[in-house]
Structure 1
Amino acid sequence: MAIIRPFKGLRPQEALAAKVAARPYDVLSAAEAKTAAAGNPYAYYHVSKSEIDLPDDTDVHSQPVYDKAAANLQRFIQEGTLLQDTTPHYYIYKLIMDGRAQVGLVCASAITDYNTGIIKKHEFTRPDKELDRINHIKTTRAQTGNVFLAYNDVPELNVIIDHWQQSQSPAYDFTADDGIRHTVWVINDPATVQDITVLFAQKVPCTYIADGHHRAASAALVQREFQEKGMIKSAEDPANFFLTTIFPASQLAILDYNRVVKDLNGLSKAELLSRLDYDFTVEAIGHLPQQPAMLHEFSMYLDHTWYRLVAREGTYTTDPIGILDVTILQQNVLDKLLGIKDQRTDKRIDFVGGIRGLQELVKRVDSGEMQVAFALYPVTIQQLFDIADSGQVMPPKSTWFEPKLRDGLLTHLIA
Structure 2
Amino acid sequence: MLSFFNISKWSPPRILVTGFAFIILLGGLLLSMPFASREGLPTPFIDAVFTATTATCVTGLVTVDTGSHYSVPGQIIIMMLIQLGGLGFMTMATLFALVLRKRISLKERLILQEAMNQTSMEGIVRLIRKVILYSLTIELVGAVLFAIRWSFDMPLGKAVYFGIFHAISFFNNAGIDLFGQFGVPYVSLTEYVDDPLVNIVTMLLIITGGIGFIVISDLVEYRNNKKLSLHSKVVLSMTGFLIVFGTVVVFIFEFTNARTLGSLHWGGKILASFFQSVTPRTAGANTLDLASLRQATQFLTIILMFIGASPGSTGGGIKTTTFTTLIGAVIAMIRGREDIVLFRYRLARERIFKALTITLLSLSLVIVVTMVLSTTEDQAFLKILFETTSAFGTVGLTLGITPELSTVGKIIICLTMFAGRLGPLTLAYALGPRAEKELYRHPEGKIIIG
Higher strand fraction: Structure 1 or Structure 2?
1
Question: What TM-score bracket applies, with the shorter chain setting the length?
Answer: under 0.3
TM-score, L = length of structure 2 = 0.24
Higher helix fraction: Structure 1 or Structure 2?
2
TM-score, L = length of structure 1 = 0.25
